Structure 1
């Protein structure tokens, strides 16, 4: 215990208090997650309704559209700060806005929050590092490394917002990829039943609301845009821009061609669904084929030494006893 206090420069009672608080917080969070029955579509319906209202307002009036959602004071202050520092210029934010949309953050305030976070996180991380190292004396034995640790904390603050958005985007894209073949099968059934593309998308979104909320959200928004945008082709292209998935771009191309040339929609979607299922099966086979090579290192490090001890241990003990008795 004394060695820990000497290394970190913090009393052991303080460390135990922090650990106990974290454990209690984790237990409360676990109980909350298990006791709460969450609806994956909660909050999405409101955003889709806001999108419907904004599209309707754009078609009914030529004046500047206003968001039907009231601005939160904190977000309003962030927007003023971003405007003062010119963080929302189109040249700088076009690519960032596309990444946020692909990650599922379609709110008008998402860009403001992200830009302000990129500006303030380095300052916050640097302040935390200075407080820990110079104020609380953490790692007092490595005081000469304090400047390097502080610089690393600032650099981490620069990358944290981008890392978070990239992580959310990759998880969302993977969820969309897994649920796309099932959605195409449902679209084929709806198309063969005689439903229009708008009705088919709404029906599939309703059926996949709980199993695949991400894809259901995208299909619902596309169905709304198909009903309100002047060009139906633009609504389908917006879907391919919101999702960074090559397979979905192929689906959008097929839908655009069907809308333009009147080609049979069910046949094309059935072929795409079969291709995507074969692709998913090939990916699973590829992972299974990589499994033996992946298990080689854990096998050598953890299993073989134990096996050697079990097999050779008794023989080594007998040999040792033989030498001892002979001597």
Structure 2
């Protein structure tokens, strides 16, 4: 009896107003808890900022020293990991070769896209091609099992069932390419934003008398925090300039890894400077001004498109809220006045 009374009192004390059968107090408490956790994560991320390039550049420098010393694999663990990766890639390559769907040009194209996405492993090119083959079977089989096997959605028409199966097949085929293309586009945009600043710093380094590889190394350190992707590419180019026998190959590797016409222009300028001895600072200054103007024009184009883009969210989300805020008090006052008048007449 006493326990039932305590339970009733506790449930009455904790129950609050409900909206659509949901306790508003409970929902507000959960949202507050989620907000506190998000704030803590944001504070932790702000207080523990790390250089995103430090680990990558250190690994590249260590690898360069190992190659100079004639060491092809650093440790037994590294060799075992490389062997496992090669075995997996070899199995995929064998399966694709038996099915006669593997072409050398296709592998080279995927390897370049992976390099432009910041993925250095060439074995993943075979994995991407293998994913194009196996994912449609998996996703298509799952869709057929759910739609036709267990009949999870019995209200679907035959056309919708066939369309759902086709969408699963197409999504399975395109998923690896979409993943690589998304990473590639994000990395390209990040490099495009920092390229004018990088060229300005290269001009300063060239006028200060630094060599090209020292200038690339210095710029990579200065831009490592603001533009880690561009800093990583410049650091790798600096290492290759000091390691490769032909400096031209290092610049060509930079244009191979970055999907930007502006980077190809910088590479052409660097190659001509190395070959003919033309002034580097003046050429880079012209390119920097051109890329900066291009970036400003791109920003102005996005700003000009903004009113058209904001029209639909404005109509769907902002205007109804504005009408409720403005007309809500007037409607409540009018309703109270009408109810009072009707009550007085009765």
| TM norm structure 2 | 0.71
**Which deviations, in whole Å up to 9, do the C-alpha atoms of 1:58-109 show, x marking residues without a partner?**
xx8xxxx966653263662242221342265413212222211111112132
Unaligned 5+ runs, structure 1: 1-23
- 2:57–2:236 CA contact under 8 A, matched in 1: no
Q: Which residue of 2 aligns with 1:79?
A: 90
Distance 1:113 1:133 in 2: 29
Distance 1:230 1:77 in 2: 33
**Which deviations, in whole Å up to 9, do the C-alpha atoms of 1:110-129 show, x marking residues without a partner?**
21221222222112212332
- 2:136–2:171 CA contact under 8 A, matched in 1: yes
Unaligned 5+ runs, structure 2: 1-33
> Is 1:297 matched up with 2:312?
yes
**Which deviations, in whole Å up to 9, do the C-alpha atoms of 1:211-257 show, x marking residues without a partner?**
21111111122122222323212221221121111111111111112
- 1:75–1:113 CA contact under 8 A, matched in 2: no
**Highest CA radius of gyration, 1 or 2?**
2
Q: Which residue of 2 aligns with 1:195?
A: 210
More RCO (CA 8 Å, sep 6+):
1
> Is 1:123 matched up with 2:134?
no
Q: Which residue of 1 aligns with 2:287?
A: 272
Write out aligned runs for 1:54-73 (5 A).
56=68, 69-70=78-79, 71=82, 73=84
- 1:55–1:225 CA contact under 8 A, matched in 2: no
Distance 1:192 1:127 in 2: 63
Distance 2:90 2:42 in 1: 33
Q: Which residue of 1 aligns with 2:22?
A: none
Q: CA deviation at 1:188?
A: 1.2
Count of aligned pairs between the two proteins? 294
Q: Which residue of 1 aligns with 2:299?
A: 284
Q: Secondary structure of the equivalent of 2:156?
A: helix
Write out aligned runs for 1:1-327 (5 A).
39-41=51-53, 44-45=56-57, 48-49=60-61, 52=64, 56=68, 69-70=78-79, 71=82, 73=84, 76-86=87-97, 89-134=103-148, 136-142=150-156, 144=158, 145-303=160-318
Residues 47, 91 of structure 1: alpha-carbon distance in 2 compared, 3 angstrom cutoff: farther
| TM norm structure 1 | 0.75
Distance 2:128 2:190 in 1: 23
Q: Which residue of 2 aligns with 1:14?
A: none
